[in-house]
Amino acid sequence: MKPELQRIRIAEACGFDESHWLELGGGIVLGTSGSLPDYPNDLNAMHEAEKVLKGGLRNTYDAWLGIIAKQEHCFIWETTAAQRSEAFLRTLNLWEE
């Protein structure tokens, strides 16, 4: 999944509205997505995004993060913003291959 689309999907989950970007078909993203947090590259942005996951979603997120960490041969606390972005989107069934 392209990083720009990840940014949009996470921003939507965090309550950003569509006035921040323009999305065209086929996964092509244009417009002002630069105003969105750079979730796949910024651990601080991902930390803020993680706050929207409550209850069972947090458990699902932790499970996905564990799967991704194991695949990358690292510990959960060593995961990158990109890995956390993927886990977040998979948790919400928003990840696209």
| pTM value > 0.95 | no
**Is residue 96 in a domain?**
no
Model pLDDT, residue 27: 52
**Is residue 10 in a domain?**
yes
- Across the chain, mean pLDDT equals 87
**Is residue 61 in a domain?**
yes
Phi, psi of 95 (to 5 degrees): -75, 135
> How many domains does the chain divide into?
1
Band (pLDDT 50/70/90 cuts) for residue 28 is: very low
Range of the domain at 45: 3-91
Model pLDDT, residue 16: 82
Cross-strand partners of 22: 30
pLDDT at 58 over 60: yes
pLDDT in tens, 60-96: 999 999 999 999 999 999 999 999 999 999 999 999 9
**Is residue 17 in a domain?**
yes
Band (pLDDT 50/70/90 cuts) for residue 52 is: very high
Ramachandran region of residue 54, left (φ > 0), alpha (ψ -120 to 50) or beta?
Answer: beta
